[in-house]
Every structure is written in structure tokens, then in C-alpha cells.
Structure 1
Amino acid sequence: MFDLVNDVEAYPKRFAWCSGAQVLQREGDMVVARLDLKFAGFNPSFTTRNTVERPHRLQMSLVDGPFRSLEGLWSFTPLGESGCKIAFALDLDYAGWLGGGAIKLGFQGLASRMVDDFGREAERTYG
């Protein structure tokens, strides 16, 4: 499951909410990646610095994008031999004053959808 979430460049092929993804830098346990999203008529692009703590956590911090701040944490808790519980916490502050609350709510909804989508993708990939 960790590898599915960490494979940022595959997001556009797997998920309708992602129109583009690019790893800009990879150095040790740090990855800088750009995502182009599409949901609810909003098409944000942003870059995050991701700290990889295989196989338990992926922590994201905003580098560039339409937000004042964006912090995210994927966590993976083993459940027996062949399963895990995934959680995604997202905290963001939109830089634009117009519609900022709606965009924040939309992103929180997208975060929930992402967890569900990764669960479905894991089922397809791993059975």
C-alpha cells in the first residue's frame, strides 16, 4: 500500500482527480513532486516536499502552489500479515480570499476520496 501512495508519477494513470504528476527531485528519503489536480471545476497545481519514512509514513509540505500552507501526512498501520490501515490528514490554507472556504472543503472531500481510491487500487493491484 505504501508503494502505491509513494508512486506519485503513476497517479494520472490511476486516478481521475489527477491530470499530471512529476517528480522534480529525489534525494535520499526526500522527494519533491508536482501534482496537477482536477475536481469540482478547480484545477490546482502545486509542488510538495515529501519526506518518506518507509513503510510507515509519508509527510508532505508545500513548496509552491495556490496555498498559504499545505501539510499532509499519510500513515500506514500494519494489520496482520497482508493488510494495513491507511490514514491521510491534510491541513491547508488557500491563498486566495475568494472562495477559500469552499476550496478548503473541496480539498478535504478530495482527501477522503483519495484514501478510498487508494484502497480500491490496492484491491485491484494486490487482490
Structure 2
Amino acid sequence: MTTHIQRSALLPYPARALYDLVNDVARYPEFLPWCSIAEVLESTPEHMRASVGVAKGGLSQHFVTRNTLVPGQSIEMNLEEGPFNQLHGVWTFKSLGEKACKISLDLSFDYAGPIVRATLGPLFNQAANTLVDAFCQRAKQMHG
């Protein structure tokens, strides 16, 4: 069963600033409480492979995505490995003048079996549902 999450927000910051924030995967553990580790495995201007660990209590999992980057505009994530049958997401960053933007996240995923759904599901669902809010708060911290 596929879970689909769509979230968006309007922010008083340039789209490029938010793109840079979301694309700075290595800093996720600094402000995402469920993120135990984040590592960039490969990076070019158009692509990134990243590993992200999620943890809460005694439960931890990690997954690897291959991200297609359109600097300042979008980040498309596709699962390479992890506890999902599939995971696909797209962040979009739309300029609304020089000092504002709309960010959107469209994310769909399907857990690799009922045991993974039962154990990882509550943590990952909460994390996915709060991602846009977390990046909004981080933008406020970083850009005032």
C-alpha cells in the first residue's frame, strides 16, 4: 500500500536559499530530530547519492536515494536501497518575486512488507509529514 504525502509552504526567502537548505543533506542531523545520520555518497551539479538514517528509541533504519538536481528549482529523489519497495519524492522551489518562494514536497513510498510497515511506519510517516515544517523552521534560523 503506497503512502502519498503532499505539503507546501510560502516563505519570505529566495527560492535558491531554500533549495540550498534542502540540498544540504549532510546537515540534516543538526535540525531533523529523527535523522541520526546523513551522508553524501556522490555529488555532481546534476546528481547526488545520499544515505539518510532514521532513528527513534531502539529502532533505526537507513536508506539511499539517487537525487536529480535542477539547481534552485527542484530535487527529485528515487530509492536505491532501503526498507521500501519504492520511494519517490520531488521538492519544488518556485520564486515569488526576489524575496519569497513557494516550496512543495510530493512524496510517495511503500514499505517492504508488513513488519517494516509496523515498526518503521509510525516514525517515517511522522518524519515525512513534518519535513516541510522542519525546513521552514530551519530557514527562519538560518536567514532570520
TM-score when scaled to structure 2? Answer: 0.79
Tell me if the contact between 2:83 and 2:116 (Cα under 8 Å) persists in the aligned partners.
Answer: no
Find 1:87's aligned residue among 96, 104, 117: 104
2:38 pairs with 1:6: no
What's the counterpart of residue 32 of structure 1? 49
Q: Report the more deviating stretch, 95-104 or 82-91.
A: 95-104
Partner Cα separation in structure 2 for residue 108 and residue 56 of structure 1: 25
Tell me if the contact between 1:35 and 1:47 (Cα under 8 Å) persists in the aligned partners.
Answer: yes
Q: Report the more deviating stretch, 10-19 or 115-124.
A: 10-19
2:70 pairs with 1:53: yes
Structure 1, unmatched stretches of 5+, are none
Partner Cα separation in structure 2 for residue 89 and residue 41 of structure 1: 29
RMSD: 1.9
- C-alpha deviations, 1:18-46, integer Å up to 9, x for none? 11011111134110000001248642200
Distance 1:105 1:91, change over 3 A: farther
What's the counterpart of residue 78 of structure 1? 95
Identity %: 38
Following TM superposition, by how much is the alpha carbon of 1:79 offset from its aligned partner in structure 2, in angstroms? 2.0
Q: Which has the higher contact order (CA 8 A, sep 6+)?
A: 2
TM-score when scaled to structure 1? Answer: 0.88
